[in-house]
Amino acid sequence: MHPRLTQKIAHAVLLLATLLVVLPVLIILAIIVGKGASAISWDFLFSMPRDGMTAGGIFPAILGTLYLVLGAIIFAVPLGVLAAVYLVEYSSDNWLSRLVKLSIVNLAGVPSVVYGLFGLGIFVTFFGFGASILSGSLTLGIMILPVIITSSREALESVPKHFRIVSLSLGASRWQTIRHSVLPHALPGILTGMILGLGRAAGETAPILFTVAAFYLPRLPQSIFDQTMALPYHLYVISTQVPGIAENVRYGTALVLLTLVLLLNLAAIILRSRFRRKKKW
């Protein structure tokens, strides 16, 4: 076959494959919006559930997700950013830094349900926190640590090397250099990573299955030692275990969760591209 013809066919096949990957996003969105939009109302979003979950709203699940995600970020961001600072600014290419990098890769690959087991074993049982917002947040926090570290590393590495050299040559110490000439310029990238981490933590179910989530709680959580409802777990239960829930309520719950996660990711993507375009150097 003539090479030009082969090329035309090949390119068409590749385009088709790409569409196969991307279109499902739109299809999933379309289905969920289509069937779930009718359930969305002020009442749905902000009131408590009634009648064993068959009426009322999902406010406690939304609130619970927000608590868990905030807790995860509070734990993961300081630890993750400092770990990234270690890797980029302080470590040399020795066995320790290679071990740290390998560990981060492994943490990123651990299945979410294994994180759930870990959270159960260490926070719920060993430390005795019980199934609680504290246990759930800590578990989610460790899970998103690789995301924070990786994006913070990229942000730090993108700061031009000569900023550091100039700062040190003027008599600044290593930490002063990081604090004044490196970190400020890496902040947008770190922020992007944080938003991505938020999105990831908001959507995960398995880590919170054994560490915090409850399906039906009569009142909102009062402290970090309480259990809470959460959106992903809520969606799972009402779609697999509770009969008699209106179809649009199920889709509506999925819609709320999906919107939350996609908005966060979209914000991160936009922030990242604006940052890349706006660089002052």
Partner 1 sequence: MKSIQVRKLKEWFIEKAILLSGIFSVVFVVLIFLFLLREGFSLFRGESVIDFLFGKSWYPISQPPRFGILPLILGSLLVTLGAAAISVPIGIAAALYIAEIAPQRLKEILKAGIELLAAIPSVVIGFIGMITLGPWIKNLFNIPTGLTALTGSVTLAFMAMPTIVSIAEDAITAVPRQYREAAIAMGATKWQTTWRIVARAARPGMVAAVMLGIGRVVGETMAVMMVTGNAAVIPRSFLQPVRTLTATIAAEMGESVQGGPHYAALFAIGIVLFIITFLINGVADLYLHRSRR
Partner 2 sequence: MVDAPVKFSIRAFHVRYGQFFALRDLHLDILANEIFTVIGPANSGKTTFLNSLNRLIDLVPASRCSGEIKLDDVDIRHGMEVEALRRKVGIVFALPLPLPLSIFENVVYGLRMQGIREPQRLAEAVERSLRESYLWEEVKDRLSTPAMNLSGGQQQRLCMARILAGQPDVLLFDEPTSGLDPISTARIEETMLVLKEKYTIVLVTNNVAQAARVGDRTAFFLMGDMIEASATSKMFTAPADKRTSDYITGKFG
Considering only residues 52 to 71 of the shown chain, the ones binding partner 1 according to CB under 8 A are none
Nearer to partner 1, 76 or 133 (CB): 76
Q: Which does 93 bind (CB under 5 to 8 A by kind): partner 2, partner 1, none?
A: partner 2
Nearer to partner 2, 185 or 200 (CB): 185
- Region 182-201 residues binding partner 2, contact defined as CB under 8 A: 185
- Region 131-150 residues binding partner 1, contact defined as CB under 8 A: 142, 145-146, 149
Among 61, 75, 155, 250, binds partner 1 (CB under 8 A): 250
- Region 76-95 residues binding partner 2, contact defined as CB under 8 A: 92-93
> Beta-carbon neighbour count of residue 205 at 10 Å?
18
d(CA 204, CA 186): 28
- Region 215-244 residues binding partner 1, contact defined as CB under 8 A: 232-233, 235-236, 239-240
Report residue 94: phi and psi, to 5°. -115, -175
* Part in contact with partner 2 (CB under 8 A); list of ranges 37-45, 115-123, 148-156, 158-166: 158-166
- Buried b / exposed e over 146-170, threshold 16 CB at 10 Å, is bbbbbbbbbbbeebeeebbeebeee
Among 99, 165, 170, 246, binds partner 1 (CB under 8 A): 99
Based on the shown chain and the rule CB under 8 A, indicate whether residue 166 belongs to the binding site for partner 2. Answer: yes
Based on the shown chain and the rule CB under 8 A, indicate whether residue 74 belongs to the binding site for partner 1. Answer: no
Instruction: Kindly state the number of chain residues that form the binding site for partner 2, as judged by CB under 8 A.
Output: 19
Nearer to partner 1, 18 or 169 (CB): 18
Among 68, 120, 159, 229, binds partner 1 (CB under 8 A): 120
d(CA 203, CA 199): 7
Nearer to partner 1, 213 or 222 (CB): 213
Based on the shown chain and the rule CB under 8 A, indicate whether residue 172 belongs to the binding site for partner 2. Answer: yes
Q: Least distance (Å) from partner 2 to the CB of residue 271?
A: 19
Based on the shown chain and the rule CB under 8 A, indicate whether residue 96 belongs to the binding site for partner 2. Answer: no
Binding residues for partner 2, rule: CB under 8 A, are 92-93, 162-163, 165-173, 176, 180-181, 185, 280-281
